[in-house]
Amino acid sequence: MLNQSIRRATLALSASAAFLLSATALAQPDATPIPGQPVVRFDGQRVVTVTVTSMRELLAVMNIAESVWTHTPGVGPVDVQVTPAQLDAITQLGLAVQVKIPDLQALIDAESADIRARRAQRDLTWFQNYKTLAEINTYLGQLAAANLATVSSFTIGNTLLGKPVNGIRITGPDLPGNLKSARPQIMFNACQHAREWVGPMTVMYFADQLLAGYGTDQRITDILNNSEVIIIPVVNADGYDFTWTTNRLWRKNRRTNGDGSFGVDPNRNWSYQWGGEGASTNPSAEDYRGPSAFSEPETQNLRNFVLANPRMRASIDFHSYSQLILSPWGWTSALPPDATIFDQLNSDIRSAIASVNGLFYTAGPIYTTIYPASGGAVDWNYGAGSTPRKILAFTIELRDTGANGFTLPADQIIPTGQENLAGALSLSESIAFPVKFTFPDGLPANADTGTTTNFRVNVVASPGSTLSTGSAKVFARPGSTGAFTPATLTLISGTTYTATLPVSTCGSNVQFYLEAQTPAAATGRSPASAPTAFYTPPVQQTVVKYTDAAETSAGWTIGAAGDNASSGIWELAVPQATAAQPGADHSLAGTKCWITSAPAGASVGANDVDGGTTTLTSPTFDATTPAGFQPGDAYIEYWRWYSNDQGSAPNTDSMPIQISNNGGSTWTQLELVTDNANAWVNKRFKVSNFVAPTANMKLRFIARDLGSGSIVEAAVDDILATVVTCPCKPADFNCDGFVTGEDFDAYVDAFTAGSLAADFDGDGFVTGEDFDAFVVAFEIG
């Protein structure tokens, strides 16, 4: 027989979906205990993943639960916060339940203890711990005071309880023909939702790094000399304070609703399509939209600020959690007029974020990527008629994907800031410059000697514009003198081109920059201040020391001490496509690769790695500089595939990739793979950054399933070891890269001893002709 909770949920199925989200614990009387120890407790509560198979089941679960944590409620897995009675009610519905956070209060207590412990450590940096509202405001003031030429402070208004909402503007000084007052603006704000603590820390990290990099980092300097960055860390100051003093999981502002409940959801209170799908009329609900659009001072403040800044061209509203990049619309599933622009920017931001720590954020429109959400800031900023112009507006949901949810550990602040700074810089470049240049394989670390050097470059006009046909060029010169010579880039496909650098002499350098125009006669360059600034890769020769296209097993070893995987063992085979593994190898020629069990099987998890680890070890290879060459830099390169974002516990496993320089006696980690690119990914590492290059190098790849329930698939192809160097100059007898008196003395010693090393002309005899030839070469240098 259904218990009372289930009857209540069943009766609620006929109610409007706007009433679905139940509140977290009702607000308690205001209190001022020590920050980091809220007084509302959640003893006995858990966060669980419930797998629902129909909308009826979803509605029932959402009505029973204390709070919905997931940012993707729909048919499938849904994260909810439950009391023991609520969990029992959900279980009686016959639904599959997996515990994600077994003791919510213990997690909050651990967070509080960690904050207190970190506060007691004097050697921690500002970003190694969460900060209160007062601490954030103090640091904003310190940044402004220390950077008078680039920072100005402002307050956008006060909250319902009278707290100021503070921010800073960051831009370079006025430049000839480039006044600060004319530069486009990009806004980064956070904490519309009070409990999402990593948001304020992330945008504060942006401010800190932008100011640290101005004048020293060319990319940051160029952005700030061509745009104004606006940082507003805490929009919902009352709510944020409340999470520190009273209720760690509070979401809304602190409006007294008059019915015993508190709070309006600021991100459902904006006027564009206010009151539509995905916003509740129930004052107790977490997504309560408020009595009217812009009823709250928090949303009024930010609206008025945006309207007062007509140069604003883009914004990101930071939230947590789920690792998502979200663009309009939230109120409808229809695509916005600028869907193509948003798709490109979403992709650019996603790639930039992934380039830092390997995490891939899911990107797409709010409505279809998370859920319907009307009355949001993103839709208002972009929405037709909301502002005098369209702002390219985004929401980013930060780490993680649910293991910690809103209580993300403090040691995740910096990596979250690092990866999202990369995304923020990518967006800023799209706004700051008429043309944006990016390099899919990175800028060339060196140019090849004796031949041209090709590299790929993506060239994209600023949002809403196009490139003039044939305007994308590379300007290059061998060495450091003479005029730059232009060469038109060769289109590969879409926005990707090939740039070609001229032939140059080994040991010298080549200098270059890129340029393109729009029909409006706006010129973009990379570096932005070219031709005053330019790129200068050294010219060197790449010597291949080891290459393996993974078509034969050729000395590779499967298995190592401690391996215990029951399935998904490494093998050399032609892969069969699944949702988690590739359907082809990477090589243009050939069909095989190393893969964790090639057959697709009956399901995505049929042949994945299960039950432990499986290790793949390379044969021994040489990474030393070959004879006749100057000491060079050794590199190891490979293509890999890794998937770990499916199953009952996605994103909970990882794959160590290790290198050894002593034949496998000891190992050093190259990388810990956690990303889920769903594609072949190229990685290249300088060997000496990890171990000294020797003739006894090995690689190993450790795919593993540690019992978490994730689907793990991995593959490896096209392994390459190279040394980047230059041939020794004729008179560089000791081949150290320099021609000095030591070379002359060493040659004389060899000549006197009659050593064949002194056979300078290579005729097999040591004669006076060799000595004379060496002297001539030595004089030339």
pLDDT computed for residue 77 by the predictor: 81
Does residue 629 sit in the same domain as residue 703? yes
Does residue 443 sit in the same domain as residue 419? no
Q: What CATH number is associated with residue 343?
A: 3.40.630.10
Q: What CATH number is associated with residue 14?
A: 3.30.70
Q: Considering the domain boundaries, does residue 107 fall inside one?
A: no
pLDDT computed for residue 682 by the predictor: 92
What's the number of domains the chain is made of?
5
Does residue 665 sit in the same domain as residue 583? yes
Consecutive H or E run containing 559: none
pLDDT computed for residue 297 by the predictor: 98
pLDDT computed for residue 762 by the predictor: 80
Tell me whether residue 228 is one of the annotated catalytic residues: no
**Closest alpha carbon to 208 in 142, 152, 131:** 142
Q: Please say whether the beta carbons of 273 and 379 come within 8 A.
A: yes
Does residue 531 sit in the same domain as residue 551? no
DSSP 214: T
pLDDT computed for residue 750 by the predictor: 80
Does residue 459 sit in the same domain as residue 521? yes
Q: Which residues contact 504 (CB under 8 A, 6 or more apart)?
A: 447, 449, 478, 479, 510, 539
Q: Please say whether the beta carbons of 602 and 683 come within 8 A.
A: no
As given in the structure block, the two tokens for residue 239 are 């709510």
Domain finish residue from 537, 557, 588:
537
As given in the structure block, the two tokens for residue 34 are 């020590």
Q: Considering the domain boundaries, does residue 109 fall inside one?
A: no
The sign one gets for the Cα dihedral 99, 101, 104, 109 is positive
Does residue 595 sit in the same domain as residue 673? yes
pLDDT computed for residue 15 by the predictor: 29
Does residue 402 sit in the same domain as residue 451? no
How, if at all, do strands 67-68 and 76-82 pair?
antiparallel
Angle at CA of residue 71, ends 69 and 72, nearest 5°: 115
| Complete DSSP assignment for 486-511 | EEEPEEEETTEEEEEEPPB-TTSBEE
Q: Considering the domain boundaries, does residue 218 fall inside one?
A: yes
Does residue 551 sit in the same domain as residue 519? no
Q: Considering the domain boundaries, does residue 51 fall inside one?
A: yes
- Rounded distance between C-alpha atoms, residue 548 and residue 411, angstroms: 39
Domain finish residue from 504, 537, 570:
537
Q: Considering the domain boundaries, does residue 165 fall inside one?
A: yes
SS3 for 306? helix
Does residue 24 sit in the same domain as residue 77? yes
How, if at all, do strands 593-596 and 570-573 pair?
antiparallel
Q: What CATH number is associated with residue 640?
A: 2.60.120.200
**Which residue segment(s) compose the domain that 770 sits in?**
741-780
Does residue 237 sit in the same domain as residue 375? yes
pLDDT computed for residue 753 by the predictor: 85
**Closest alpha carbon to 650 in 608, 594, 701:** 608
Q: Which position among 298, 397, 419, 713 bears the catalytic label? A: 397
**Closest alpha carbon to 597 in 715, 705, 699, 676:** 715
CB-count exposure of residue 179 (10 Å: 0-12, 13-18, 19+)? exposed
**Closest alpha carbon to 687 in 639, 605, 632, 643:** 632
Angle at CA of residue 636, ends 632 and 637, nearest 5°: 130
Domain finish residue from 379, 401, 432:
432
pLDDT computed for residue 771 by the predictor: 84
- Rounded distance between C-alpha atoms, residue 268 and residue 193, angstroms: 11
DSSP 149: T
Query: Residue 108: how many CA atoms within 13 Å on its side-chain side?
Result: 26
User: Consecutive sets of 10 residues in the chain, 781 residues long: mean pLDDT of each?
Assistant: 34 29 28 57 93 84 86 74 94 90 93 92 92 97 97 97 97 94 97 97 98 95 97 98 95 96 96 89 92 97 95 96 93 91 93 87 89 90 70 95 90 97 97 94 90 95 92 95 96 95 92 96 92 94 96 96 96 96 93 96 92 97 91 96 85 92 98 86 95 98 88 97 90 79 82 81 83 82 75
Does residue 567 sit in the same domain as residue 468? no
Does residue 572 sit in the same domain as residue 478? no
Return the CA Rg of the chain. 30
First to last CA, the chain: 96
pLDDT computed for residue 386 by the predictor: 54
Q: Considering the domain boundaries, does residue 313 fall inside one?
A: yes
Paired residues of 477 in beta bridges: 511
Q: Considering the domain boundaries, does residue 664 fall inside one?
A: yes
| Residue 455 vs residues 441, 494, 628: alpha-carbon distances, Å | 8, 16, 28
pLDDT tens-place string over residues 343-364:
999 999 999 998 888 888 999 9
Q: Please say whether the beta carbons of 303 and 387 come within 8 A.
A: no
Q: Considering the domain boundaries, does residue 115 fall inside one?
A: no
Q: Please say whether the beta carbons of 79 and 70 come within 8 A.
A: yes
